[in-house]
Chains A and B, each alone.
Chain A
Amino acid sequence: NAGVTQTPKFRILKIGQSMTLQCTQDMNHNYMYWYRQDPGMGLKLIYYSVGAGITDKGEVPNGYNVSRSTTEDFPLRLELAAPSQTSVYFCASSSTFETQYFGPGTRLLVL
């Protein structure tokens, strides 16, 4: 039982490049979330999903896209990377939205 896994662990992007952050959970959770954490800040919700085929925007969705084709996977897409997207990204899942289980994070640097 791996819980929530995220790949890659670390990535450097050039401005304007695109990438997909992968997130997979093996707990059969319906709820999945993407957060970003900037230095000295809390976790800001980017997008979330309450089940396969259903996604919704969080607090800071601009510059990102998501899809949820299966219960297990919830990838986050950055289309045109900008320096403001330099952050640590966390994926989480839960059976109810309160007690969320987090992955180890992806550290992204946009130069």
Chain B
Amino acid sequence: DQQVKQNSPSLSVQEGRISILNCDYTNSMFDYFLWYKKYPAEGPTFLISISSIKDKNEDGRFTVFLNKSAKHLSLHIVPSQPGDSAVYFCAASAANTDKLIFGTGTRLQVFP
């Protein structure tokens, strides 16, 4: 039972354009959501997060949007840069738990 789903295994975007990565979840108890970025042969690194009391959080070129009614969140990267090429994982947690549930990841390739 995959509680956090990233249905697009890969995405290819031209440099300077917007990248939109999507994530769906099934557990209505999730109240905190994160995005992690992973380069080959490295561990994931934290990128941005959002609490369920918000519908948007912005950090520089990265914005995360949360639609609780649809159980959907998305990560927007504007403008996309070649250095953004990586695998992006969506993760979620429920209140009073001490763990994250990760999606399967989306590989983003930004080409010149």
Contacts and interface: CB of A to CB of B under 8 A. Distances in A.
Contacts of B99: 33, 45, 48, 58, 97
Contact of B34 (A4, A98, A104): A98
B49 to A, nearest CB: 6
Interface of A: 4, 31, 33, 35, 40-45, 48, 50, 56, 58, 90, 92, 97-105
Given A40-B9, A42-B105, 20 more contacts: A31-B98, A42-B89, A42-B103, A42-B104, A43-B102, A56-B98, A90-B44, A97-B99, A97-B100, A98-B93, A99-B34, A99-B46, A99-B49, A100-B46, A101-B45, A102-B43, A102-B44, A103-B43, A104-B41, A104-B43
Nearest to A102: B43
A10 to B, nearest CB: 10
A58 B98 CA distance: 10
Nearest to A41: B104
A33 B89 CA distance: 17
Most buried by A among B49, B100, B102: B100
A50 B97 CA distance: 11
B-side binding surface: helix, strand, loop or mixed? loop
A105 B98 contact: no
A103 B4 CA distance: 23
A103 B38 CA distance: 11
B52 to A, nearest CB: 12
A31 B97 CA distance: 12
Most buried by B among A33, A43, A58: A43
